[in-house]
Amino acid sequence: MSSLDGASAALFSSRSPDLAEDDLEILAARFEPVRLVPGETLVEEGRPSDAIWLLGSGSVSVSFRGPNGPVKILDLGRGAWVGEISFLDCGSPSATAVVRAPGMAFRLRRAALSELMESAPRVGSRFLRTLQRDLAARLREWDRQFLRRPRSPERGLFSLLFGARA
Protein backbone atom coordinates (compact mmCIF):
# COMPACT_ATOMS: atom_id res chain seq x y z
CA MET A 1 0.00 0.00 0.00
CA SER A 2 2.22 2.80 -1.15
CA SER A 3 -0.19 5.70 -1.67
CA LEU A 4 -2.40 5.19 1.37
CA ASP A 5 -1.40 6.01 4.91
CA GLY A 6 -1.87 3.34 7.58
CA ALA A 7 -5.25 4.55 8.83
CA SER A 8 -6.70 4.88 5.33
CA ALA A 9 -5.36 1.47 4.30
CA ALA A 10 -6.93 -0.04 7.40
CA LEU A 11 -10.22 1.68 6.56
CA PHE A 12 -10.36 0.29 3.01
CA SER A 13 -9.20 -3.07 4.20
CA SER A 14 -11.90 -3.19 6.88
CA ARG A 15 -14.61 -2.47 4.33
CA SER A 16 -13.20 -4.78 1.63
CA PRO A 17 -11.43 -7.59 3.51
CA ASP A 18 -11.54 -9.85 0.42
CA LEU A 19 -9.33 -7.55 -1.65
CA ALA A 20 -5.60 -8.18 -1.89
CA GLU A 21 -3.24 -5.31 -1.16
CA ASP A 22 -2.66 -4.48 -4.84
CA ASP A 23 -6.38 -4.52 -5.54
CA LEU A 24 -7.04 -2.22 -2.59
CA GLU A 25 -4.54 0.18 -4.11
CA ILE A 26 -6.41 0.08 -7.43
CA LEU A 27 -9.71 0.69 -5.65
CA ALA A 28 -8.45 3.43 -3.33
CA ALA A 29 -6.97 5.33 -6.29
CA ARG A 30 -10.53 5.98 -7.54
CA PHE A 31 -11.53 7.64 -4.26
CA GLU A 32 -10.68 11.28 -3.56
CA PRO A 33 -9.73 12.20 0.02
CA VAL A 34 -11.97 15.00 1.28
CA ARG A 35 -11.72 17.06 4.48
CA LEU A 36 -14.99 17.23 6.38
CA VAL A 37 -15.91 20.61 7.80
CA PRO A 38 -18.70 20.86 10.41
CA GLY A 39 -21.91 22.16 8.89
CA GLU A 40 -20.97 21.07 5.36
CA THR A 41 -23.76 19.25 3.53
CA LEU A 42 -22.60 16.08 1.79
CA VAL A 43 -26.00 14.95 0.54
CA GLU A 44 -29.19 16.98 0.46
CA GLU A 45 -32.64 15.43 0.51
CA GLY A 46 -34.24 15.68 -2.94
CA ARG A 47 -31.13 17.04 -4.64
CA PRO A 48 -29.47 14.59 -7.07
CA SER A 49 -25.99 13.46 -6.14
CA ASP A 50 -23.46 11.39 -8.08
CA ALA A 51 -21.07 10.48 -5.26
CA ILE A 52 -20.71 8.16 -2.32
CA TRP A 53 -18.54 8.88 0.75
CA LEU A 54 -16.66 6.46 2.96
CA LEU A 55 -16.14 8.08 6.36
CA GLY A 56 -12.60 7.86 7.69
CA SER A 57 -13.06 10.03 10.77
CA GLY A 58 -15.42 12.60 12.21
CA SER A 59 -19.16 12.17 12.14
CA VAL A 60 -22.05 12.94 9.84
CA SER A 61 -25.59 13.57 11.01
CA VAL A 62 -28.43 12.17 8.89
CA SER A 63 -31.92 13.66 9.01
CA PHE A 64 -35.02 13.98 6.87
CA ARG A 65 -37.63 16.69 6.50
CA GLY A 66 -40.53 16.31 8.92
CA PRO A 67 -43.72 18.34 9.17
CA ASN A 68 -42.22 20.36 12.06
CA GLY A 69 -38.64 20.61 10.83
CA PRO A 70 -35.73 18.21 10.37
CA VAL A 71 -36.03 14.82 12.05
CA LYS A 72 -32.66 13.41 13.03
CA ILE A 73 -32.20 9.74 12.22
CA LEU A 74 -28.71 9.05 13.49
CA ASP A 75 -25.05 10.03 13.33
CA LEU A 76 -22.63 8.02 11.21
CA GLY A 77 -18.97 7.48 12.02
CA ARG A 78 -15.79 5.84 10.73
CA GLY A 79 -16.46 2.99 8.33
CA ALA A 80 -19.94 4.13 7.28
CA TRP A 81 -21.04 4.92 3.73
CA VAL A 82 -22.90 8.16 3.06
CA GLY A 83 -25.15 8.63 0.02
CA GLU A 84 -25.02 5.02 -1.08
CA ILE A 85 -28.70 4.67 -2.06
CA SER A 86 -28.86 7.56 -4.50
CA PHE A 87 -25.35 6.77 -5.75
CA LEU A 88 -26.49 3.33 -6.80
CA ASP A 89 -30.11 3.75 -7.86
CA CYS A 90 -29.55 7.23 -9.33
CA GLY A 91 -32.65 8.55 -7.52
CA SER A 92 -32.83 11.67 -5.37
CA PRO A 93 -31.44 11.34 -1.83
CA SER A 94 -34.15 10.53 0.71
CA ALA A 95 -32.26 12.21 3.58
CA THR A 96 -29.77 14.98 4.24
CA ALA A 97 -26.27 14.26 5.54
CA VAL A 98 -24.42 17.10 7.28
CA VAL A 99 -20.94 16.95 8.80
CA ARG A 100 -21.19 17.16 12.60
CA ALA A 101 -17.63 16.52 13.79
CA PRO A 102 -14.62 17.39 11.61
CA GLY A 103 -12.73 14.59 9.97
CA MET A 104 -12.00 13.14 6.58
CA ALA A 105 -13.75 10.93 4.06
CA PHE A 106 -13.08 9.30 0.71
CA ARG A 107 -15.41 10.27 -2.14
CA LEU A 108 -16.15 8.09 -5.15
CA ARG A 109 -18.00 9.56 -8.10
CA ARG A 110 -20.22 7.49 -10.38
CA ALA A 111 -17.91 8.11 -13.36
CA ALA A 112 -14.95 6.76 -11.38
CA LEU A 113 -16.90 3.58 -10.58
CA SER A 114 -17.75 3.12 -14.27
CA GLU A 115 -14.10 3.58 -15.16
CA LEU A 116 -13.08 1.05 -12.48
CA MET A 117 -15.60 -1.48 -13.80
CA GLU A 118 -14.25 -0.96 -17.30
CA SER A 119 -10.53 -1.04 -16.54
CA ALA A 120 -10.43 -3.47 -13.60
CA PRO A 121 -13.68 -5.48 -13.59
CA ARG A 122 -12.39 -8.00 -11.04
CA VAL A 123 -11.69 -5.25 -8.51
CA GLY A 124 -14.95 -3.55 -9.47
CA SER A 125 -16.87 -6.78 -8.78
CA ARG A 126 -15.25 -7.26 -5.42
CA PHE A 127 -15.94 -3.66 -4.46
CA LEU A 128 -19.59 -4.00 -5.50
CA ARG A 129 -19.89 -7.14 -3.41
CA THR A 130 -18.52 -5.17 -0.47
CA LEU A 131 -21.20 -2.57 -1.05
CA GLN A 132 -23.84 -5.30 -1.37
CA ARG A 133 -22.79 -6.80 1.96
CA ASP A 134 -22.93 -3.40 3.65
CA LEU A 135 -26.28 -2.57 2.05
CA ALA A 136 -27.59 -5.94 3.21
CA ALA A 137 -26.48 -5.23 6.79
CA ARG A 138 -28.25 -1.90 6.72
CA LEU A 139 -31.35 -3.42 5.10
CA ARG A 140 -31.58 -6.16 7.72
CA GLU A 141 -31.23 -3.53 10.44
CA TRP A 142 -33.86 -1.22 8.92
CA ASP A 143 -36.21 -4.17 8.48
CA ARG A 144 -35.84 -4.90 12.21
CA GLN A 145 -36.41 -1.24 13.01
CA PHE A 146 -39.53 -1.17 10.89
CA LEU A 147 -40.94 -4.43 12.22
CA ARG A 148 -40.78 -3.20 15.81
CA ARG A 149 -42.87 -0.10 15.04
CA PRO A 150 -46.29 -0.21 16.66
CA ARG A 151 -48.90 -0.74 13.93
CA SER A 152 -52.18 1.05 13.79
CA PRO A 153 -54.92 -1.42 12.83
CA GLU A 154 -56.52 0.84 10.28
CA ARG A 155 -53.34 1.53 8.33
CA GLY A 156 -50.98 -1.39 8.37
CA LEU A 157 -47.82 -2.20 6.49
CA PHE A 158 -49.80 -3.80 3.67
CA SER A 159 -51.63 -0.60 2.79
CA LEU A 160 -48.46 1.47 3.24
CA LEU A 161 -46.62 -0.76 0.78
CA PHE A 162 -49.31 -1.25 -1.79
CA GLY A 163 -51.75 1.61 -1.29
CA ALA A 164 -54.60 1.11 -3.72
CA ARG A 165 -53.43 -2.39 -4.57
CA ALA A 166 -54.27 -3.44 -1.06
Partner 1 sequence: MTTLHGFPVRDIPLFAELTGAEWAALEKRLRIRRYREKDVLVREGTPILSGEPALFILLSGQVLVTCRDGGFLRVLHPGETFGLLSLADGAPRAATCLAASRVTVAVMERGALEELRATDERLTCALELGVARQLARDLRTVAALLQASAHRPAREPTPPARTEVESFTRSQRATPELHRPRSADELAELFHRAHHQGRRLVLRGAGLSFDGQSVDDDLALSLEAMDHLAIDPLSGHFTAGPGVTWGEVCTRLAPHGWVMPAAVTTSSATVGGTLSSNSLSRFSPIFGKEGRAVLSIDLLTPDGERRTCTRTESPDLFYAAIGGLGGVGVVVSATYAAHPVPTPTRVRSHVRRHPSIEGLGALLGPSALHGEKTAYGIFSVGEDKVRGLVISSEYCAAERLRPMLPHEPEHRVRVPLEMAVNRWHALSSLFWAFTHDIYMRGADTRPFVDDLLGYTFFMEGHLRAKRAADRLGLPFEVMQQTFVVPEAADLARFLATGLARLRADGIPLALLDVLWLPEDEPFCLSSSRGLAGYAVTFSFEGPFSVPHLRKALEALSKEVLAIGGRTHLGKNVCADPEDLAAMYQSGLTDYAAVKDRVDPHGMLQSRFLRRCFPSLGDTARRRTAA
Q: Given candidates 153, 155, 163, 164, which one binds partner 1 under the rule CB under 8 A?
A: 155
Please, are residues 110 and 102 in contact by the beta-carbon 8 Å criterion?
Answer: no
Site map 121..150 versus partner 1, x via CB under 8 A? xx-xx--xx-xxxxxxxxxxxxxxxxxxxx
Please, are residues 106 and 8 in contact by the beta-carbon 8 Å criterion?
Answer: yes
Outline where DSSP puts E strands in the chain. Answer: 32-36, 41-43, 51-55, 59-66, 69-76, 81-82, 96-101, 103-109
Handedness of CA 40, 45, 46, 52 (dihedral sign): positive
Q: Which is nearer to partner 1, 2 or 104 (CB)?
A: 104
Residue 110 touching partner 1 (CB under 8 A): no
CA dihedral 63, 64, 70, 76 (to 10 degrees): 0
Q: Given candidates 11, 51, 74, 97, which one binds partner 1 under the rule CB under 8 A?
A: 74
Q: Which is nearer to partner 1, 29 or 136 (CB)?
A: 136
Q: Given candidates 20, 29, 37, 71, which one binds partner 1 under the rule CB under 8 A?
A: 71
Which residues are at the interface with partner 1 (CB under 8 A)?
A: 15, 55, 59, 64, 66-68, 71-81, 84-85, 87-89, 91, 94-95, 100-101, 117, 121-122, 124-125, 128-129, 131-150, 152, 155, 157-158, 160-162, 165
